[in-house]
Amino acid sequence: MTALLEVEDLRVAYGKIEAVKGISFTVEAGQVVTLIGTNGAGKTTTLRTLSGLLKPLAGKISFDGDVLNGVAPHKIVERGLAHSPEGRRLFPRLTIAENLQLGAFLRKDGTGIERDIQRIYELFPILGERRKQASGTLSGGEQQMLAMGRALMSRPKLLMLDEPSMGLSPIMMQKIMATIRELRSQGTTILLVEQNAQAALSLADHGHVMEIGKIVLSGTGQDLLHDESVRKAYLGED
């Protein structure tokens, strides 16, 4: 069976500096796959390339049977690959409801859009309570919920989440991870970039450890969680 996402020998550079050095991995439909590693490992660069924001030097990106190389970012969203970026990138002066509507900018089905907005409010009740509030006035955790909700509004076949727990309190981080678990139970396929390796590997089907642009270790989430080298390097254990 062909994977939903196939990345083959992907190379990406910023000028003369190669940030991603020939990585390959797959994501099967219904899975949560995580990329872990320190800052500068190439995780965010990988997601930005998959979503069409960066042009690869070499390699092949296939999604749902089609090659994505050279496809414009909005066309990639249209094909079912959504990206909730690092830093959330909301429209701060627009309300929660308006930000969610922008997530559906490629859709024409008004009734379906309204139904999906209600689904987001069920997933994140606090957003429903504050739907008329400007997104720039929300807490960090609420903004992360909105960023995830906005990405879901395109009805993606695969949702890419970049550092969803960054800067959040432990309680809010647990809420975000519980939501990712809930999305997986509903059948959403997720590619997760996350610095909290413990949280990411605990819920991932498969994981890949990245160091300076390369994948140095791969396995199931549980295998990596119990791998001695991973525990020392990323889980803070001796």
9 & 76 share domain: yes
B/e letters for 35-60, b = 16+ CB within 10 Å, e = fewer, are: bbbeeebbbbbbbbbbbbebebeebe
Residue 2 has pLDDT above 80, yes or no: no
Average pLDDT over residues 196-218: 94
Total tally of structural domains belonging to the chain: 2
CATH code, 31 = 3.40.50.300
Contact 232, 60 (CB under 8 A): no
| Residue 1 or residue 70, greater confidence | 70
The pLDDT assigned to 92 comes to 85
Count CB neighbours of 166 within 10 A. 17
175 & 151 share domain: no
Average pLDDT over residues 158-173: 87
162 & 194 share domain: yes
132 & 163 share domain: no
Contact 16, 5 (CB under 8 A): no
217 DSSP 8-state letter? E
95 DSSP 8-state letter? B
7 & 29 share domain: yes
Average pLDDT over residues 185-212: 93
Amino acid at 196: N
**How far is it, in rounded angstroms, from Cα 233 to Cα 231?**
6
DSSP string of 38-53, one letter each residue: -TTSSHHHHHHHHTTS
Residue 168 has pLDDT above 60, yes or no: yes
The domain in which residue 178 lies consists of 1-80+158-238
pLDDT, tens digit, for every residue of 180-196? 898 898 889 999 998 88
Residue 86 lies in a domain: no
The pLDDT assigned to 175 comes to 85
Residue 8 lies in a domain: yes
pLDDT, tens digit, for every residue of 37-68? 988 899 999 999 999 999 999 999 999 999 99
- Which run of H or of E encompasses 181? helix 170-185
The pLDDT assigned to 237 comes to 60
pTM as predicted: 0.89
Q: Which of 17, 16, 13 is nearest to 59 (CA)?
A: 13
The pLDDT assigned to 50 comes to 97
The pLDDT assigned to 236 comes to 66
Question: Hunting for tokens 């981080």 — which residue is that?
Answer: 173
Residue 72 lies in a domain: yes
Question: Hunting for tokens 């080298």 — which residue is that?
Answer: 229
The pLDDT assigned to 123 comes to 87
Residue 124 lies in a domain: yes
Tokens of 54: 């960066």
74 & 103 share domain: no
The pLDDT assigned to 208 comes to 97
